[in-house]
Structures are given as C-alpha cells and as structure tokens.
Structure 1
Amino acid sequence: MLIADYLHKNLVLPDLAAVAKSEALTELVEPLKSEFPDLDLANALQVLLEREQLGTTGIGDGVAIPHGKLVGLDRIILVVGRSRRGVRFESLDGKTCTIFFLVLAPEQAAGMHLRILAHISKLLKDEGFRRSFLEAEGRDELYTLLKTL
C-alpha cells in the first residue's frame, strides 16, 4: 500500500494557517473542491467534526489523523497538511499538532479505511519520518517524500 495511491499533489498543504481544530479541518477540506468538484464539502466537514466529537484524532507527538466515511464517495481520499506554528487540536498529549493526515473513505470501505489509518499511524510513529516531514521545503518536497511511502 502506497500513500501516493490516494494522494494528489494539490492536496498536500505545506503551510496551514489555522490555529484551532475547526479552522484546520476547514482548511484541509477546502482544496478538495478543485480535485473533486462533485464532493459535498459541507457534508465532509460535518462528518469530520462529528467524528471529533466522539474523541480527538490528535494522537500525540504533534500528529492528527482526522478521518470519516462519506456516503456516495467512490474512493479513498487523503489530504496532508503541515502547520509550522501548531494547531490547538485537543490532542491526547495536550500538545499542538503540526502534522495532519486527513482520510475520507467510502462508507462501505471499512477494511481499506482501517488499513490506511493503521499504515499512516505506523509511519507517523517514526521520529525520523516526522522530522523529515517537518523539515521538507514546500509542497514539492513534501509530495516527493510522501510518494515513497
């Protein structure tokens, strides 16, 4: 499984401006309109916010993996973002989040959805990868790093 199979270069956001959770989710969802014009962005955002109400997806070490399932979606979509200053995301360790992997999946793709979340989680436990991610220069370098995973 490769992250690049689910990622468009335009969905790599190297400099998130958000400082709070809802702002970050909105900013991560926004570029989907250019790649997936038929996607209901308001619904996608609502699904993500509802998932956050169940428990934060800020897993610690500066990482958040917001995710949700959408009715009518026909493929898994990944959006990757980075915040230089950190986002208050109610993370489990109380720290701000700087690395974001947003996953949207079709409602019927439970198995694949869980495999992708596990794959991303495993990658992000690697301190060397997190450091490379945070040090990458701009979208091109981030995308190149992600294409190899």
Structure 2
Amino acid sequence: MRKLAPAAAAVLAMTGAVTIADTGTASAAGWGCSGSEVSDSPYPVVGPAGSVFSYVHLYWNGSTGKNCAVNVKTGALYGTPTQTEIVLYQCAADTPAAGCSATLAASDGGNFAYYAGPASIPGAGHCLVVQAWTDDTSGNEANFARGPFHC
C-alpha cells in the first residue's frame, strides 16, 4: 500500500490502531461490488496536467450495510498493466464534522490491467475515507482522496 496523501494522512492522524484487510486480487463481473452506486460516484483519479487515469466507483448495499469500491482504469490505460490501488477507511464517527478516527480499512492494489478492487467494509453508522492511485506506463501517478463523507 502506498503512503497516504497529505490530506488523508492529516484526517487519519488521530486514528489509533487501524485493521487493514487486503481483499485480494481484483475479479468478478461488475467489478465485484453489490448494491447501488452512490449518487456522486464515480470520482476521477487525476494525474499530471489534469489527466484522468481512472475512476473510483463507490457502492452502498443497504441490505448488507457495506460500502464497496473499485478503481477502474480509463482511456489508453484500460487493459494495460500498471500499479492500481483502492483503499477504504471506516471512520468511528457518523458525521463528517467529527473527522475520521479510522477503525477499519480494506484495500486492493497491484499491477492490474483493468481495475483494483473490490474493497469492502461495513458502513452503517460510519463515515468513509476513500483513496485511490493509478500509475501510467511512464510511472506518473494519479491520485484521489476524499472524506470523511458518505455517512
């Protein structure tokens, strides 16, 4: 897993111990997430000069109480193996104003051709922090960090 983006690192700086669960190799039709994509998803993973390398798709499944995310490559990178990652953090709080003291995390990352994920965590009564990274074939990095949100 990569280092935290500065904004996310600040949000999570007051966390204590965080349990990281690696969700394994990306697989399954529909990217492996169930439920409904949240209303403002997908989120662009933006690299140098504003290039979008991938999109984070965030799902909520009300019947299981879980959030699930994938980081799907776009354009010329779709189908090309490069480093691609997705991380979800479950916050202890249920309001964005409370910040994020992360209690649980799920991630997937590797040299993937199409997408990273799914990464899934329980979400009922909790806010999230979402992070994603995608490299291009020259090693340029695009990143995304948001949260706490989707409480």
TM superposition score normalised by structure 1: 0.34
From the two aligned structures, give the one with the greater strand fraction: 2
From the two aligned structures, give the one with the greater helix fraction: 1
TM superposition score normalised by structure 2: 0.34
